[in-house]
Amino acid sequence: MIREIHDAYFEAGADIIETNTFNSTTIAMADYQMESLSAEINFAAAKLARASADAWTARTPEKPALCRGRAWPDQPHRLYLA
């Protein structure tokens, strides 16, 4: 579903999308006792955004598609650029 949302933004004319990593910090995930999954969730989100951007760039090489991610103060080492 997230990949389809990324694609829909590009289809609508967006130049850049953002990873779906809001509240995936270890601090936020601790509310659900899931902080150990934070890195895995962030990595998966980055892979989805990167795959969407790469696919759209292949379709429209004259208009490269971009994606951006964000690292938070509690885990700057956990943002993986897929």
Residue type, 66: L
Asked whether the predicted pLDDT for residue 77 surpasses 70, the reply is no
pLDDT at position 27 is 87
User: Does residue 57 sit within a domain?
Assistant: yes
Instruction: Please choose, from the candidates 43, 44, 55, the residue with its C-alpha nearest in 3D space to the C-alpha of residue 9.
Output: 55
User: Does residue 56 sit within a domain?
Assistant: yes
Task: Measure the CA–CA gap between 39 and 32, rounded to whole angstroms.
Answer: 15
User: Does residue 18 sit within a domain?
Assistant: yes
User: Does residue 43 sit within a domain?
Assistant: yes
**Cβ contact 72:25 at 8 Å:** yes
Count of the separate structural domains present in the chain: 1
Domain limits for position 58: 2-70
User: Does residue 82 sit within a domain?
Assistant: no
Asked whether the predicted pLDDT for residue 49 surpasses 70, the reply is yes
Asked whether the predicted pLDDT for residue 50 surpasses 50, the reply is yes
Asked whether the predicted pLDDT for residue 75 surpasses 90, the reply is no
